[in-house]
Every structure is written in C-alpha cells, then in structure tokens.
Structure 1
Amino acid sequence: MHVAIAGGSGFLGKVLQKQLLNNGFRVTILSRDPDKVEKSEGLAAVKWLVDGARPEEELINVDAFVNLAGETINGIRWTSKKKDRIVRSRRAATKELIRLAEKMAHKPKVLVNASAIGYYGMSATETFTEASRSEATDFLATVVKDWEEQALAAEGLGIRTVLVRLGLILGKEGALPLMALPYKLGVGGTVGSGEQWVSWIHVEDAARLIAFVIEHPAISGPINATAPKPVQMKEFGKTLGAVLGRPDWLPVPEWFIRVLLGEMSNMLVRGQRVTPEMAIKHQFDFLYPNIEIALKEILDNNR
C-alpha cells in the first residue's frame, strides 16, 4: 500500500512514517522542501505548496492520503497573526489534497485527516464520544469544524474520509517535555483546580491508530484518538511527579495561566473528557491504555 503524508516531518508525522514502513507500506512525504526529508527504502518525498510544484505528476498509485499539515496550536498566546496562520495553513493543505485527488486518475481510497478533540468544546462534567454533537463556538472548536468540513469534500469524490480527533499527544517531543520541566526542577504541581480532564494519547498509539483506520475500510467519519482512560489534571500531575521521582506540591493558579497564555489557557484550565468509542468498537489494541504506563515508557531515560 502506498500512503502520501502531508505534514509528515512533524512530531506525529515522524512516528507515523516509522509505523507505516514497519507495516510494509510505501510512504511519500509531501513537503515544501523535499531535500530535507531523510530518504530510505520505501520512503520518498515530493514537493508541494510552493511555486512550480506539480505533485499530481509524481504521486502514482497512491492508496491513502494522511493530512497532518498545519501551523501548530502550541506557543505563547494565540495572537491574531497566530490564529490566521492556524486557519490558513489547514485550509491550504486540505484544499490542495482535494485538488490532487480530483486530478489523479488513480484516486486514493481513503483520506485520513487530522483533527482535534477541541471540536467538542470544553467541559468539566460531560463525557464526549464520536456521537456527541458540538455547540462550542470557541476558537479551537471553530478551527476544527472548518478543517473537518474542508476534508469532507473528499467524500464527494468517492473517497472514504476519516477524521482523527487527536487528544493531547504524549511523547519525547510536543507538550510533555514542557509539562515535565517544572517537576524536573522540583517545582511541579497541579495546573488550575486539578479537576479538569486531560484526554491524552501516547504518540505511538496515535500513529498506530492512523495506520489501523487506513487498513479498516469499515471506519469512516470521526474517530477519537485518545486513550481509553482519561485522567483529571491532579492525577496527571501526581503521576508525572511519581514517574520522575519529583514532588507534586506547587500548584499553578488558574489566573496565572490565563495571564500567561490568554485564550489558549482554556486547553489547560478547562479541558474535556473524551473517550475513544469507535476505536474500542473496532477492537483497536492500545499499547498504552493508562497514564502511568505511557509516562514511564516516554520518560525512562534508559530508552
């Protein structure tokens, strides 16, 4: 099977590359600078989203598109410029994938489009599944809904479309090293009230789930990429401290997070409880179903 990945050089993308290659797939990375992609047996790169690029002429017999492309939502504050880049980058990449699919004689059978559990909005009390309807109007929910709508245009081309709603991805890159740093310095503690839910997933399970949905044609529409056991922030912090052998004693007040991060702070101080009902229904096997196992695997310095 031949898979083309947009955004394949990022945190999740690099792990997904390895997973697909291990599964015996052929992988092509769509990149603005393909010379920077480390080629290997089964792994190639094609230029796209730059002047003069004609990826449709190089993408031959592609069976699946995976779209991970887009400006990261991480950073200090969502300024108006940052928000604009977040929205525009996702629209541009998704629109280009749809254009490519239209042009290709051999159309991909599936588009796996990254999304986010931000779709559901924030809540301290609700539990969200793929069947949950969203009435959220905050920035992140609006971005996700727009992104998913763009991707669903693939269905009009007869392409199975899967919307992978990612939770907090835990790995050696991404948010976890920043979250672990205060603990390593001996000043770690619960963020905000500690009652807010953290719906997380180990990066390896996130990559495995994407590979899983590519190979399972019965799966379409939204699927939550979160571990089956979300935790409250106080449990997350306590477990993180225990795994690192550091105290969990210095709470970070909500007002400080809001001053520091502005609108982005909602992700940390409010959160949402999301469960992966579709993954469970289709018998996906999580390697890291609970937070202690996941954190030990990631933070073990001997690995």
Structure 2
Amino acid sequence: MRGGQVAVVAGASGYIGQHLATAWRADGAEVRTIGRGPGADARWTDQEGLADVLEGSDVVVNLAGRSVSCRYTKRNADAILSSRTETTAELGRVLAGLSRPPSLWVNASTGTIYRDARDRPMDEETGELGTGFSVAVARAWEHELFAAPTAVRKVALRMAIVLGAGGGALNPFVNLARLGFGGRMGDGDQVFSWVHVDDVRRAIDHLADHPGVSGPVNVASPCPETNADTMRLVRRAFGRSYGVPLPAWSLEVGARVIRTEAELVLKSRWVDPRVLSESGFVFAHPDLDEALAEIACRTSRGLLPVALG
C-alpha cells in the first residue's frame, strides 16, 4: 500500500495481520482494523461500525479465524469453521451496502485445500482439492467469499506455511532443533511449501496493482523443500548440526500432548504460485536457506513461545 491509500485489515491482532499493519503504516498508508479486541476500529458485532471503516477504503484484507493449531474436537472444529465463514459472510453483507466500497477484497485461505501431493505441484487451475476437515473448512471459507453479494474484486489467498521472525509457524521447528529433535518428521519426503511473511505483504500489494487478477491465488515460494531438507536447513540456520528424526507415531503422540494435530507437519503440501508468477510477481525470498538465515538474525536465543491449542 502506498502513502494516501487506505487498507482495512480484519484479524489484525494475528501474526500476519500485525506484520501487514506495521509495514503499510511505515509506507504511509492508513490502516483501519476490524476485530474482537478493544483496540480495533470496528467490531464484528457492529454493522454500522464495519460500514464506517470499510467505506472509502482501497483494499480490505480478511485474516480472521481461530488458529488451527489445536485438537479437532467438535467444539474446536465448530469454532475454526464459524470464525472463518461467519466473518467472511458478514464482510460480504456490509460491502454490498457501501456507496464507496474498496476495489479489492483479499480473503485468507490456505494451501491445505489441495490434496496430499508428492507427485506434482498444485496450481490454481490444475490443482486437485483434497478431503478431510481442513479441506472442508477451506472450501466453505472460499464459498462464502465468492458467493458474497458484492461486485468488489475478490481474491482467495491460498497461503502456504508463513515464516518470519517474531512468531508464526516457524517457532515449533526452531524449538525442536534447539532441543536436539530437529530431524526429519515421518519419512521426511512430504513437501513443505512455505512463504516469507514479507512476500505475503508484497503479494497483496501486487494484487492491488493488477486488477485483472481475481479468484484463488496461491501464495507460496516457487522453491519448496522436502520436510527432511527443511529441517536440515532449520538446523543450519539455528546452529545445530544434528537432530533426532521423529517417526510419525511419535508426532501423533506429541501432538496429543500439546493439543494439536500431526497433520500440520505430515501432510505433503506442494503449492505452485502460478497466478502470481504469470502476472509478473517476483518473490523477495524464494530460497528457504536465505529466508531462514534472515529470520535467524532477528530471532532471540532460547526456546520460543508457541501457542498451544
């Protein structure tokens, strides 16, 4: 976002939302926020407040949704689904009633929507959707976006695992490496598609400048790694020469202990950013080794905080 532009970020209290808001404000843009906390400019329960925040903005980015790092009990599963679909539907209703709506609505989605892929990458046109709870949530999430009764250009941001300093998905991997357990997970052949948090912001800026792009957009580095190579690179970046491999059964047990799902590391996610690449986007951090070195320089010593489900 450039100086003088207005961006609305829903879910701004999360890791990605905080990064977007900080970076765009540093660029001179005005950032308005939607959330449940006291610091938000508008609350989800206040339609009039939502309309005031959205009116006259340039871009709205919806990242709202309960963390998936938890056990998929019925209560958690219901919260994961409703926190995504209900907020997306509410945005659609409010946007439909505006006289000066934003020109672009970017709604978070996930690269997990594709099947477990070890044979070929999944792009937006030929990628095959998977099955299971996570895929069902992603499909329902995107359905609410594209069914919303507004003519605003819509993009479903199918993000790979987002990496960056100060939080996000990398912390558990760093902790395992620092504790000596940073070896391959399962057979280690599952593909690890990832994206640096800076490139998430840059991708949204790119989409704002390319009005011909709409629909699902994969946001993932064009250079994925296997899990085994990912953990080797994590160990190198954070100063560990060896890590004990973790078989699938141990990950299942460990996931129960910390109240999460082993699927988060055992599923093979091979996400191809075809739409971004063909529209001219160039990743600032395409190489995982370089990205991890950059992150390590800004990461504190010792064990890092990890949100438990």
Q: TM-score, normalised by structure 1?
A: 0.90
| 1:42 counterpart residue number | none
Query: Is the counterpart of residue 3 in structure 1 residue 11 in structure 2?
Result: no
Percent identical across equivalent pairs? 30
2-side partners of 1:50 and 1:66: how far apart? 18
Q: Structure 1 residues 20 and 124 mapped into 2: Cα distance closer, same or farther (>3 Å)?
A: same
Query: 1:119·1:140 contact (CA, 8 Å) conserved in 2?
Result: yes
| 2:98 counterpart residue number | 104
| 1:298 counterpart residue number | 295
1-side partners of 2:19 and 2:299: how far apart? 19
**Aligned counterpart for 1:261 among listed residues 241, 255, 266:** 255
Deviations 1:198-252 (A, max 9, x none): 0000111112111221222111111111011000001001111111120233100
Of 15-24 and 228-237, more deviation after overlay is shown by: 15-24
Deviations 1:144-179 (A, max 9, x none): 11100101124x421111111000001120221111
2-side partners of 1:175 and 1:232: how far apart? 16
Task: Quote how far apart the aligned CAs of 1:281 are.
Answer: 1.0
The one-letter code of the counterpart of 1:56 is A
**Aligned counterpart for 2:76 among listed residues 71, 82, 96:** 82
Task: Name the Cα RMSD after superposition.
Answer: 2.0
Q: Structure 1 residues 134 and 264 mapped into 2: Cα distance closer, same or farther (>3 Å)?
A: farther
| 1:180 counterpart residue number | 174
Query: Is the counterpart of residue 157 in structure 1 residue 150 in structure 2?
Result: yes
| 1:40 counterpart residue number | none
2-side partners of 1:20 and 1:216: how far apart? 18
Unaligned runs of 5+ in 2: 301-309
Query: Is the counterpart of residue 145 in structure 1 residue 139 in structure 2?
Result: yes
Q: Secondary structure at the match of 2:262?
A: helix
2-side partners of 1:67 and 1:191: how far apart? 32
The one-letter code of the counterpart of 1:162 is V
Q: Structure 1 residues 66 and 221 mapped into 2: Cα distance closer, same or farther (>3 Å)?
A: same
Residues 277-296 of structure 1: pairs in structure 2 closer than 5 A: 277-296=274-293
Query: Is the counterpart of residue 131 in structure 1 residue 122 in structure 2?
Result: no
Query: 1:4·1:30 contact (CA, 8 Å) conserved in 2?
Result: yes
Query: 2:55·2:102 contact (CA, 8 Å) conserved in 1?
Result: no
Of 19-28 and 6-15, more deviation after overlay is shown by: 19-28
| 2:305 counterpart residue number | none
Query: 2:121·2:127 contact (CA, 8 Å) conserved in 1?
Result: no
| 1:213 counterpart residue number | 207
Query: 2:177·2:243 contact (CA, 8 Å) conserved in 1?
Result: no
Moved over 4 A (4+): none
Q: Secondary structure at the match of 2:19?
A: helix
| 2:59 counterpart residue number | 64
2-side partners of 1:160 and 1:302: how far apart? 37
| 1:41 counterpart residue number | none
The one-letter code of the counterpart of 1:46 is D
1-side partners of 2:277 and 2:271: how far apart? 13
1-side partners of 2:190 and 2:299: how far apart? 32
Query: 1:120·1:132 contact (CA, 8 Å) conserved in 2?
Result: no
Of 280-289 and 261-270, more deviation after overlay is shown by: 261-270
Unaligned runs of 5+ in 1: 37-44
Query: Is the counterpart of residue 12 in structure 1 residue 20 in structure 2?
Result: no
The one-letter code of the counterpart of 2:159 is L
**Aligned counterpart for 2:32 among listed residues 28, 33, 40:** 28
2-side partners of 1:218 and 1:57: how far apart? 27
Query: Is the counterpart of residue 119 in structure 1 residue 113 in structure 2?
Result: yes
**Aligned counterpart for 1:50 among listed residues 9, 24, 45:** 45
2-side partners of 1:7 and 1:248: how far apart? 38
